[in-house]
Amino acid sequence: MDSGLDSLRTRQKLQTRAEIVHVAFDLFGENGFENVSVETIAAAAGVSRATFFNYFPKKELILREIASSRAEKLKSILAAFDVSSDPPTFASLIELVLKLSRENARIGQRSKKLLLETFFHQASKGLLLAAREGAIESLTEVIARIPRRSAVAARLAAETFFAVYIATMLEWLMREESTQQVLLATMRERLLLVLEGVA
């Protein structure tokens, strides 16, 4: 079989999958996860119900896809430390977390409720623990490379940073009226406080 044709089919499948997720995210944000049917998503994405189920055997799997994309974003941002010629610092780590927070806030402006649903759905399925472990491992590697005077283990410092990040994001998501500026200012203050104990 022609490898060019296989490559085209693969790209088309990835585009269809991405379109389904994009459309579903918009619909969930406007109407709530429970109020959007598979038929509505399929029609909006321009695919049949059967095609939808080829990609997502259950509607809930789209939430997994959204959560997975957030975990991958964190990994890609952390990977920037590995290719940077500058040694990592706690200041650069805080800026990294703020960058991710800005990205989440941008998404959250569309629907904080949807991000909360995604978070709690992943937590209830045990999927959040795997994503957390990957983030903690990456953070640990970065923190281990930062010169510190504290005897706090890099793993514990990473767990603390991540816990503060998650708690602050959840608090912001639960407060519908809270702005991106409030999120970023609160995140920075709390991470600086953590820094005093782990640096």
For 122-175, the pLDDT digits (tens) are 666 666 677 778 788 888 888 888 888 888 899 999 999 989 998 999 899 888
Residues 30 and 87 in one domain: no
For 67-114, the pLDDT digits (tens) are 776 666 777 777 766 666 677 888 888 988 898 888 778 777 667 777
| Domain final position from 55, 78, 99 | 55
Q: Whole-number mean pLDDT of the chain?
A: 83
Residues 176 and 118 in one domain: yes
Q: State how far Cα 67 lies from the chain centre.
A: 5
Report the alpha-carbon distance of residue 30 to residue 13 in Å, rounded.
26
Q: Specify the number of domains making up the chain.
A: 2
Residues 124 and 156 in one domain: yes
Residues 78 and 47 in one domain: no
Ramachandran assignment for 87, one of left (phi > 0), alpha (psi -120 to 50 degrees), beta (any other): beta
pLDDT of residue 120: 73
| Domain final position from 40, 55, 70 | 55
Whether the Cβ atoms of residue 19 and residue 44 lie closer than 8 Å to each other: no
Question: Residue 21's domain spans which residues?
Answer: 3-55
Q: Where are the beta strands (DSSP E) in the chain?
A: none
CATH number, residue 92: 1.10.357
Residues 68 and 130 in one domain: yes
What pTM was computed for the model? 0.72
Mean pLDDT confidence for 37-54: 94
